[in-house]
Chain A
Amino acid sequence: GENVEQHPSTLSVQEGDSAVIKCTYSDSASNYFPWYKQELGKRPQLIIDIRSNVGEKKDQRIAVTLNKTAKHFSLHITETQPEDSAVYFCAAPPKFNAGGTSYGKLTFGQGTILTVHP
């Protein structure tokens, strides 16, 4: 199945700095790459996603870039704030089954604990 590797496992930055989290995937057919944020004690929530027909997508202070050739995608957070402190997960769909669909399944990276210091 799909193998998703996420780095770093922990990231500590000062408020106002930028943060970058990178994920690599193994299946060249993967075409959808979401990022989820999980605050302490809460459920994961989608913050941004990108499809394979674009190389970059932005939403205010967050952006995701995709390099299909190298099979990696990254989350960029600019002007970090203390409320950005959370665990961030990347994901990619697993290899399609014989019917040609993933049924919406996702393989998640191991997670990055981001701490933003005031």
Chain B
Amino acid sequence: DAGITQSPRHKVTETGTPVTLRCHQTENHRYMYWYRQDPGHGLRLIHYSYGVKDTDKGEVSDGYSVSRSKTEDFLLTLESATSSQTSVYFCAISERREDGEQFFGPGTRLTVL
């Protein structure tokens, strides 16, 4: 597995609380992505980054924000968690701007009560 870690791996929180998930890579890849995985929906892109401090929205970005202050770290924040954000969150990295393999982290299972 590529050098990608996610923390925490599991989290249970309550509606309305802020939550931050961290993705850390040791591969020095430029491109990073946050996905959520829900049954029947596959993997849906939340936000992505194409460089330090360069981020943009994906297809399901409402209720999420991201930050990337260093090449190796990409943070996903749920400002005020809702039950609809209960999901498994995957971070991925890629070294190519086009048509390249994405390497996924181990995932974070988030439950919002």
Whether chains A and B associate is: yes
A-side residues, CB < 8 A to B, are: 1, 6, 9, 31-32, 34, 43-46, 49, 51, 89, 93, 101-111
Contact A105 B45 (CB under 8 A): yes
Residues of B in contact (CB 8 Å), total: 28
Known A-B contacts A43-B104, A43-B107; A103 and B40 likewise in contact (beta carbons under 8 Å): no
User: Is A110 within 8 A of B40, CB to CB?
Assistant: yes
Question: What is the CB-to-nearest-CB distance from A101 to chain B, in angstroms, rounded to a whole number?
Answer: 6
Residues of chain B within 8 A of A9, CB atoms compared: 40
Within 8 A of A (CB), among B59-113: 59, 90, 94, 96-102, 104-107
B28 to chain A, nearest CB (A): 15
Asked if A46 contacts B31 (CB within 8 A), the reply is: no
Q: Are B41 and A105 in contact (CB under 8 A)?
A: no
The reply to whether the CB of B8 lies closer than 8 angstroms to some CB of chain A is: no
- Are B101 and A34 touching (Cβ within 8 A)? yes
| A109 & B50 in contact (Cβ 8 Å cutoff) | no
The residue of chain A having its C-beta at the shortest distance from the C-beta of B6 within the complex is A43
Which of chain B's residues have a CB closer than 8 A to the CB of A51? 99
Q: What's the Cα separation between A85 and B1 when bound, in Å?
A: 20
Looking at chain A's contact residues, the main secondary structure is loop
> Contact partner of A43 among B41, B50, B90, B94, CB < 8 A?
B90
Tell me whether A104 and B97 are in contact (CB under 8 A): yes
A89 near B42 with CB under 8 A, answer yes
Chain B CB within 10 Å, residue with most, of A89, A93, A108: A108
Instruction: Return the chain B residue nearest A111 by Cβ.
Output: B42
Q: Are A93 and B104 in contact (CB under 8 A)?
A: no
Hey, which chain B residues are within 8 Å of A43, CB to CB?
1, 90, 104-107
Query: In angstroms, how far is the closest chain A Cβ from the Cβ of B30?
Result: 9
Closest to B33 in A: A105
CA distance A108 to B105 in the complex (A): 17
Q: Is the CB of A46 within 8 A of B99?
A: no
Name the distance in Å between A108's Cβ and chain B's nearest Cβ.
4
